[in-house]
Amino acid sequence: MNTTTIRRAACALMLAGTLALLTGCVSQMTERPAQDISAMDIPIDAQAPEADAFAAREETFALYYLSEDGARLRPVVRTVTVEDGMSRSEAALRALMDGPQEGEDGVSWPEIGRLTGARSYALSCGVATVELPARARALTPAQLYAVRMAVACTLTEFQEVSYVNVLVGGREEGLDLAGTLAVGALSRAEDLDVASRFARLDEQRQSASGGITRDTTLWFPSQDGQWIVPQVRSVSYSSASAIDYLYTLLEELGAGTDHPMAAGLPAPMQYIGEMPEIVRTEDGATLAVELQFDASLDAALAEAGLTRSVYLAALTDTLMGFIPGIDGLRVRIGGEAVEALDAQQTPRGEALLFAEGMMTRADFAGYAGAPCTLYLPAEGGICEVSCVVDQQRANSPRERLGQLMRMGALPRGLTDADVLAVAVEPERVLVNLSGAFAEALSGLSAQEERAAVYAMVNTLTEFAGTDGTPQRIAFFFDGVQRESLAGGIEMRGELMRNPGMVVD
């Protein structure tokens, strides 16, 4: 019997077992005795991984460059290497920033350098944030707008990206030389004539005395208070001025959120001791938002289950992501300047020190979270749940397995150290677990084992539709494959994603 026949036989047996298990959903089905295949050879053409690895893969993307005169966007289809666990959208963005290649005629790109830094690209809740190098400020407003639209059109080619914020050197830049007209969150544009689009926006600036409306990214705490997540909202501003932006944004944050992954925060304007200002620092080199809160803010944060750091991260990312030219925030609470946060004031026990008492987006680089879908054992199968995790690790198989442990989906006593290695290949994921992991699964009932295993399988293949993740998983324990550990499922060979086990 060849390998393909063996795998089909094994899959048929697993499917029969699944239908028998889900008798609550298909009451007319009767379970037939499972055939003993323990003596059957089920080979696998892979070795257990010894270290975490991501196999590079080739993808074809549409990258939007500028026409030679800079007036229009022109798509270029290019094959890009996606590597190092990078998402497809980030790989496309970095390829765009490398500029046109030989043979890609009729397009241009300004010399602004490559993306660098921990916050150069982030994606959460359909909102991408791109931080261009500070040298992009040397571009004219029209050129910078064209670059922003090129980035937005490239990223919104991907289903998982709906809005794009393009910052420069960690802050928003205005559309005009005076730096007053905010851009806001960009969405997909079918009109690739960026010169005409910019001209219309410039006309709007000149007649903006009646106010402007912009798609605006607001940041809120996650439900568990550990992270911040974005929500884009259409917001009207009374005028195109920094101070009006500031007051409107603070009011919008205080209005709360209906985002399912986010929670409201204590309304900033309710705890203001002195009215917010935008001022030049003493040396005149930087522009800062000054916020002075009453001492009662700390009690409100405690009641809401929030730390100072998460609250200030939400304020910083919201304000610096929209108000043009803002270099940071200076905050006082109860008359005391917040120049640092000790470990008790951060959700992960890491102290923060703000250079010269100025908070910037870079200070909160590790606070952006992203939704992560997991599968947990449930009566009759497995159930889908969502949580928020570190945005930079949302698609990490190791992070997902760790979340399953922390949420009780796997036997107690297991730790991240029991995940010896995970290797992501173009068509499958190879997972090497410890012998202790095998023993823990052996201690479950057959049904519990099956639910635990498919909780891992479905979790590790959840984002296949958007990020190219394989649909097959192969498990090893201390470097070797094992037969059924508790009698619930054959663990040799490869296991496929099983939507049929998901229950409401």
225 within 8 A of 307, measured Cβ to Cβ: yes
Which residues contact residue 197 at a Cβ distance below 8 angstroms, ignoring those fewer than 6 apart? 145, 149, 189, 191
- The answer to whether residue 112 sits within a structural domain is yes
124 within 8 A of 368, measured Cβ to Cβ: yes
Q: What are the start-end ranges of the E strands in 302-359?
A: 328-333, 336-337, 340-341, 352-353
pLDDT value of residue 8: 37
CA–CA separation, 150 and 156 (whole Å): 10
- The answer to whether residue 262 sits within a structural domain is no
Q: Based on the fold, state whether residues 31 and 72 are members of the same structural domain.
A: no
Of 436, 450, 449, give the one whose Cα is nearest residue 478: 436
CA–CA separation, 135 and 342 (whole Å): 34
User: CB atoms < 10 A from the CB of 71, how many?
Assistant: 15
CA torsion angle 474 415 412 424 (round to 10):
-20
Adjacent-strand bridge partners of 237 = 212
Q: Based on the fold, state whether residues 428 and 491 are members of the same structural domain.
A: yes
pLDDT value of residue 464: 46
Angle at 377 (CA atoms; ends 347, 50), nearest 5 degrees: 70
Phi and psi at 309, nearest 5°, equal -65, -45
pLDDT value of residue 23: 33
pLDDT value of residue 83: 83
DSSP class per residue in 384-443:
EEEEEEEGGGTT-HHHHHHHHHHTTSS-TT--GGGEEEEEE-SSEEEEEE-HHHHHHHHT
Q: Which of 173, 206, 239 is the last residue of a domain?
A: 206
Q: Based on the fold, state whether residues 7 and 98 are members of the same structural domain.
A: no
Q: Based on the fold, state whether residues 34 and 166 are members of the same structural domain.
A: no
Per the structure, the count of domains in the chain is 2
Q: Which of 184, 206, 228 is the last residue of a domain?
A: 206
Q: Which of 206, 230, 246 is the last residue of a domain?
A: 206
The one-letter amino acid at 226 = Q
- The answer to whether residue 298 sits within a structural domain is no
Tokens of 111: 């010399």
pLDDT value of residue 203: 78
Phi and psi at 316, nearest 5°, equal -65, -50
Q: Based on the fold, state whether residues 468 and 445 are members of the same structural domain.
A: yes
Per-residue pLDDT of the chain (504 residues; tens, 9 = 90+): 333 333 333 333 333 333 333 333 333 334 344 455 555 667 788 999 999 998 888 999 999 999 999 999 999 999 999 987 788 999 999 999 999 999 999 999 999 988 887 689 999 999 999 999 999 999 999 999 999 999 999 999 999 999 999 999 999 998 887 778 899 999 998 899 999 999 988 777 666 566 899 999 999 999 999 999 999 999 999 988 999 999 999 999 999 999 999 999 999 999 999 999 999 988 878 899 999 999 999 999 999 999 999 999 999 999 999 999 999 999 999 999 999 999 988 888 889 999 999 999 999 998 999 999 999 999 999 999 999 999 988 888 999 999 999 999 999 999 999 999 999 988 899 999 999 999 999 999 999 999 999 999 999 998 644 455 678 999 999 999 998 899 989 999 999 999 999 998
Q: Based on the fold, state whether residues 99 and 174 are members of the same structural domain.
A: yes
Angle between helices 446-460 and 397-406 (to 10 degrees): 140
Q: Based on the fold, state whether residues 142 and 22 are members of the same structural domain.
A: no
Q: Based on the fold, state whether residues 29 and 145 are members of the same structural domain.
A: no
152 within 8 A of 183, measured Cβ to Cβ: no
pLDDT value of residue 207: 65
CA torsion angle 123 127 133 139 (round to 10):
160
- The answer to whether residue 363 sits within a structural domain is no
Q: Based on the fold, state whether residues 81 and 8 are members of the same structural domain.
A: no
Which helix H or strand E contains 146, and what residues bound it? helix 141-155
Q: Based on the fold, state whether residues 62 and 195 are members of the same structural domain.
A: yes
- The answer to whether residue 436 sits within a structural domain is yes
Q: What are the start-end ranges of the E strands in 48-156?
A: 53-54, 57-67, 73-82, 107-108, 121-124, 127-132
- The answer to whether residue 437 sits within a structural domain is yes
The one-letter amino acid at 464 = A
> DSSP 3-state assignment of 318?
helix
* Ramachandran class of 317: left when φ > 0, alpha when ψ lies in -120 to 50, beta otherwise: alpha
- The answer to whether residue 425 sits within a structural domain is yes
pLDDT value of residue 39: 55
CA–CA separation, 128 and 113 (whole Å): 19
The one-letter amino acid at 390 = D
pLDDT value of residue 137: 93
Q: Based on the fold, state whether residues 11 and 72 are members of the same structural domain.
A: no
> DSSP 3-state assignment of 15?
helix
Q: What domain range includes position 14?
A: 3-43+369-501
Q: Whose structure tokens read 């296949």?
A: 464
Q: Based on the fold, state whether residues 27 and 90 are members of the same structural domain.
A: no
CA–CA separation, 114 and 467 (whole Å): 23
